[in-house]
Structure 1
Amino acid sequence: MDLRIFTEPQQGASYDTLLKVAKATEDLGFDAFFRSDHYLRMGDGDPMPGPTDAWTTLAGLARETSRIRLGTLMTSATFRLPGILAVQVAQVDAMSGGRVELGLGAGWFEAEHTAYGIPFPKEKFARLEEQLEIITGLWETEPGKTFSYEGTHYRLADSPALPKPVQEKVPVLIGGHGAKRTPALAARFADEFNIPFASVEDTRRQFDRVREAAEQHGRSADDLVYSNALVVCVGRNDAEVARRAAAIGREVEELKENGLAGSPAEVVDKIGRYAETGSSRIYLQILDLSDLDHLELISSQVQSRLS
């Protein structure tokens, strides 16, 4: 089971804070550092220091780390034109020496669009599909040839389709809870399917849908990596678990029900239940980015028991 660290910087984190977490992620042996792609805090609380841009952040981290994978859960298709996003991701991949992964979603948080003057179209899913066609098409175009695309929402003519990523193929992540369109999109484009904040039962149900869609598309269901994203709150004892839950404004029992919470043994046991669904990777949502001791505990007492 791969464990990856997943951060939500819009809740309050500077680049320097993210750099500390990313370096701890690497030093403690985790597989990857991922971040969300949002420009506005969700819920009440201090909005300082304000948002950081996902791909600007990852570009910096690409030069400050050497081993961990870097990516987004999920880049919002509403924030960037697909041709420009293909350039950005390819460039950060080169800056990292080939360690980038692209999670791409339709976008959903209307308030952040309003706050920063970003259009919030109604036909988001159709735009996401076209973006995936364009980005993968640009990267797959042979050097020396051009790429053109005529869609409903985007048009490209004679693009040189440059730059190319360093990796032969940048892994593409698609995720969500949708019962039909999401599995179908994953079957066409995804190297990994991720379901966020889902129970074991809902995870199994959604993975089965994606597997079926992959087979219908002519792919082996095992071509895809299946993963979860879950909030994590681990403590050496009940008091430490309660302290960490309070620090992120959550209740312990709710976290145990909807995430990975409790003692290391409890968390290892629950991860095992997700593994039984076919999940081979978990993105641990870390909400208190100042608590690096939490990462050390997870590394020494949880990750060590899963290898």
Structure 2
Amino acid sequence: MTQEAVFPIGTPGQPWDESEKAQWLAQVTIKRSYQDEVMSKFAALSAEFEQVNYGALTFDAAKYPLFAFKTKNWSATKKTILVTGGVHGYETSGVHGAIQFLDTKAAHYSQYFNIAVAPCISPWGYETVNRWNPKAIDPNRSFYADSPAEESAALMAFVASLGEVYAHIDLHETTDTDECEFRPLLSARDGKEYEAGIIPDGFYLVGDSENPTPEFQKAIIDAVAKITHIAPDDDGQLIEVPIEQFGVINYPVKKLSLCAGITHNHFNTTTEVYPDSPNVTAKECNDAQVAAITGGLDYIIEYLKIG
């Protein structure tokens, strides 16, 4: 399928220039409120956790401040756990699952761990229901030094302040719009031909091919399976990647500059909830994200024998 057939901006076979990126930005609209849907929940959390303002998006600094939360009983004797959500702003349960974890579970686990949660890394993307930032950059391919994505650069600076991170769980979704909108858009931006893929019907994980930790991944899958269905493989693959085990594929997360690769951790994973299934609700999607976090933390408690 040609670029022209799937997205009208640009010349087929040629990457976008700055004028074409500006043309794309001009047609992006606000669809929901970061202030009303996300930041409004922070006040209640600040009583229990330390709220950290780690930056703001220069696109509109007053409208898009960046926040994270840390457990108050921080201790050098505890391992540090990082939870991130909303790297891709359109992936709703990543944001609200992180907030729900803070609201319902983080205080309990703070007896075992230092916990830092950045629930909405890309607030402009949240409001516009977008994978990219205003510069047509994907923050989740931009976690490297001198990043052109300020969402990614700001998070990396915050994470550097935490010291050693023992485990990192990055909350995402795979939605039907990945195929009908965002992958065609990426092909148009890069001047490449679009090739259709398959969206897995269910939850799955993306582990780290350089540090696969299969038992950790399985513990998360087992926990989430109590909430929602796990994606069956498509002839031994998910999103055209060979499965490592049921519900799990592995990526070279550092090489691809993904959020899950920003620290030298012992355990990391990226969740992928499927919110477009007719068999799930928004609540179940959020619950699945929380189950992924707690399933991973329960495994680590057992692994370290600290319970």
TM-score, normalised to structure 2, is 0.31
Higher helix share: 1
TM-score, normalised to structure 1, is 0.31
Select the structure with the greater relative contact order (CA < 8 A; seq sep ≥ 6).
2
